[in-house]
Amino acid sequence: MTAVLTIWAACLPARAAGCEDLQQTIEARIRANGVEHFTVTVVDAAASAPGKEVGTCEQKRRKLMYVRGDVAASVAPAPASVPAAASTPTRAAPAVITECADGRVITQGTCKK
């Protein structure tokens, strides 16, 4: 039993690093698209967080949320005097990146073969 717990505990940092690696990959892709001011955060899958989901990790137990621009500005409501149609158009967020249980990382489709 102790050996099983030791092996399991040794795998935990690898999973955490997987989310961090995926976060860095997503951030690099966003920067490559010319976006300078943004945040990508890792949150629990069930958590409510501002932004758009752009990836999952730890077998979909955590998700990566993308917010373009200043985080405080994205959470605050828009001024009532500015109509929604008058807002500045933005580029589409990158595709959702998913880490499959078998270690593959995909941007389209599902992990099922």
The model's pTM: 0.52
Region of 7 (left: φ > 0; alpha: ψ -120 to 50; beta: rest) is: alpha
pLDDT tens string for the chain (113 positions)? 444 333 434 444 444 458 999 999 999 999 999 998 999 999 999 999 999 999 999 999 999 999 998 654 444 444 444 444 444 455 565 677 777 777 777 776 777 76
What pLDDT is stored for residue 90 in this prediction? 56
